[in-house]
Structure 1
């Protein structure tokens, strides 16, 4: 039974307000603190996946317009229903398509939903998409992808087509582009169909490539950028004049039959790259550089790596070499520090790619990444963001700063594969109480107990499970590995600074 507080009297109107219900205080004050500590906390937007990646979130004006609704008495004395005519027409067409009395059908459908126990198809819950892609959008994607069955359907320059067939996929047969490549490469080239020529735009365009990990995003953004690089190189008067002087010097040395001397005039593109790829880690920088250099063996352009694991002298040679540089793959902090001392290195950038955008626009990288974008924006023609996960914070940031961004998403974005069994552990509850290391050790023990009940390939031997645990900081790898070893688990830490010998083990 609840206590009722004494009636409060308003001194102005002398009306008695309604009785206020007093909340019974708990017998033990510590219980209140315990219940408050177990209350679910709202997760920050950077840790929540976006619901609709293929569409930009509503702008502030739309939200403000939605809030400017009439008060509680705004619906009085109306002679017509406050229903959007477009929505009413669409609803009427849907009812006509159903046939018969659509209202009765809808009422029966709602009853069926109430009478049932909901969606109990547990086998299908694991493959639900975390970001919904409508059926119509998915069919449009599949129709677009079906038009580009081969890399030959892309309007790439012939030397790039040869690089794809002879270098990237050398010795392979039946080469077909991945779904994200079928969607992204024509869009970045400005190609509407497989038989249409590309139409480069003179205005700066921004793109978002959202596709699952391992889907081929690196090649999807490199090929159009290199295609534009080679096209601009063929029309650059400074590069044409440099090549003419180089050919003239070569002919002069051959005619004089003197000892050959290297042409020591610096290339016009020295420390002036036109394509910049930003990645969060040195390992990913090496991976992207390897793909770009394999293309350059046939397409003939200069790709250089800027990474913190290189010596300063090597970084100096890569960027300020007399042969010039066309493509730079770097981490943001290193490139930003170089740009502070030499701002002109970003003055010729026409294509800027931000790979793993969810990481590079997070708190630790966002200020440095945005500073690089601002310095390159005067000459920028294409700005591309790539990621396998699109948090709401990133989605809102891109919608605010790039409202005209073209969003390219694959149907399997944020989807859990059918063969993957997903489990979530709430570490805020008992018995863990926000101790993630303890929750990790307990999960490993559970997997070990399960494997102990199954025999391995050899009869009489226990099936050994090998487990990988990912953390978000290098220091945490050593800390967690030491904790697991204390609990009797054979654990080893692997990160960037781990010696190569341990990597092989």
Structure 2
């Protein structure tokens, strides 16, 4: 099947070809038609499957039908498409896809990109003449609305990219405020690689008779990622990582750790050992984060050590290796982490370090991922640690998300309970 058969016009077919989209992917085949027809969509497809273009291409065509030509363009554009994303990096990435696909079109379509971590003033200036499409993180979007720099009353199409993150408790209050600013009658498009059952219920509440799209991980469409698990003592993980980098001659590695402190600590230890490594986490300025990603893509860093900040919405072409130095809290996060490699038809490798303390956790991740990997032991790194005894604080769940709430989960739950007890303020 080609893009013409999916209903895209000749201009967008040409634009897609110029952007390197030679043939539609499975999620694009399933989603483009329903989006063009104005239907709500709930789409689940693995990372690297072309989800962004699956909604960008048809939305651009819908915009072309209502946007005035260049010569007759209004002085101020009205925002008709709002794309919400959970991270600054994903906002930039989605905006790049939008601009690349919109640039060859004869009609002018303006894309605005807004996110926190940088000064709000340039973003306010860029929106003075309006924007047809706004790609935003929730917090900064609300800041701009509060500054009267952006109005959402004419949005016709709402996209939640990485919808499961946006529907999570961490964004719940901001999302509800944004939804209250939008027209009741609109098209809702929810795209993600994963949808937990609890989030699925929230997603359903947003949708009206949606097209439900689930792209199964068939052999033909599953990313080519070789997965490994290596048992190692906790204190030996950095030495093992150096050993693997050297023996396999890895030139670019994305290493996931549990905390921001671990980012700096592991990156510094690697750098002192002669490995060009740097940290990437949420406490860095936006400029520093952009620099790290740009330099990593240019092969100026061998290793980037990161938190789950980089688990979603970061597309690094030809990234060969991902290492779980610390195991992710949930099987869902495991999916997103290893999905940074093996993208766009390339092959990749995902290596997970398993310590005695996290062995039960690893077994649960495997169960939920429906995988069974042999736990390797490498010569010179034979583990000596033993699993901790089972206790009320260590019940064998491995701390997997959904089994035992973290401190952050408890704080969120307490905040939600407090909010529920407060009377609703009168509407204006």
The alignment's TM-score, normalised by the length of structure 2, stands at 0.57
Q: CA deviation at 1:400?
A: 4.3
SS of structure 1 residue aligned to 2:54: helix
Q: CA deviation at 1:401?
A: 4.5
Deviations 1:109-131 (A, max 9, x none): xxxxxxxxxxxxxxxxxxxxxxx
Higher relative contact order (CA 8 A, sep 6+): 1
* Residue 350, structure 1, aligned to residue 156, structure 2: yes
Matches within 5 A, 1:94-243: 149-165=1-17, 167-169=18-20, 175-190=22-37, 200=38, 205-233=39-67
**Number of equivalenced pairs:** 287
Higher helix share: 1
Aligned match for 1:364, one of 170, 174, 178: 170
Partner of 1:306: 114
Partner of 1:282: 88
Deviations 1:422-444 (A, max 9, x none): 4398xxxxx9xxxxxx74x5445
SS of structure 1 residue aligned to 2:31: helix
Cα distance in 2 between the residues matched to 1:288 and 1:308 = 16
RMSD: 3.6
Cα distance in 2 between the residues matched to 1:476 and 1:308 = 24
Deviations 1:44-102 (A, max 9, x none): xxxxxxxxxxxxxxxxxxxxxxxxxxxxxxxxxxxxxxxxxxxxxxxxxxxxxxxxxxx
Q: CA deviation at 1:421?
A: 2.2
Q: CA deviation at 1:478?
A: 2.4
Contact 2:188–2:206 (CA<8 Å) still a contact in 1?
Answer: no
Contact 2:238–2:266 (CA<8 Å) still a contact in 1?
Answer: no
Contact 2:84–2:138 (CA<8 Å) still a contact in 1?
Answer: yes
Cα distance in 2 between the residues matched to 1:343 and 1:287 = 23
**Is the alpha carbon distance of 1:212 and 1:393 closer, same or farther for their aligned partners in structure 2, counting shifts above 3 Å?**
same
* Residue 402, structure 1, aligned to residue 207, structure 2: yes
Deviations 1:263-313 (A, max 9, x none): xxx6242xx310111112222111111111122222221112112254333
Q: Which runs of 5+ in 1 are unaligned?
A: 1-148, 191-199, 234-238, 247-265, 426-430, 432-437, 457-461
Cα distance in 2 between the residues matched to 1:481 and 1:379 = 49
Partner of 1:130: none
Aligned match for 1:297, one of 100, 103, 106: 103
Cα distance in 1 between the residues matched to 2:261 and 2:171 = 18
Q: CA deviation at 1:326?
A: 0.5
Q: CA deviation at 1:212?
A: 0.9
Contact 1:212–1:413 (CA<8 Å) still a contact in 2?
Answer: no
Contact 2:4–2:10 (CA<8 Å) still a contact in 1?
Answer: no
Q: CA deviation at 1:159?
A: 2.6
* Residue 478, structure 1, aligned to residue 283, structure 2: no
Higher strand share: 2
**Is the alpha carbon distance of 1:156 and 1:416 closer, same or farther for their aligned partners in structure 2, counting shifts above 3 Å?**
closer
SS of structure 2 residue aligned to 1:364: helix
Contact 2:27–2:54 (CA<8 Å) still a contact in 1?
Answer: yes
Cα distance in 1 between the residues matched to 2:185 and 2:204 = 22
Larger radius of gyration: 1
Spell out structure 1 runs of 4+ moving beyond 6 A: 413-416, 483-490
Moved more, 493-502 or 391-400: 493-502
The alignment's TM-score, normalised by the length of structure 1, stands at 0.49
Q: CA deviation at 1:354?
A: 0.9
Aligned match for 1:316, one of 118, 124, 130: 124
**Is the alpha carbon distance of 1:442 and 1:287 closer, same or farther for their aligned partners in structure 2, counting shifts above 3 Å?**
same
Cα distance in 1 between the residues matched to 2:159 and 2:258 = 23
SS of structure 2 residue aligned to 1:224: helix
Matches within 5 A, 1:321-340: 321=129, 324-340=130-146
Contact 1:210–1:413 (CA<8 Å) still a contact in 2?
Answer: no
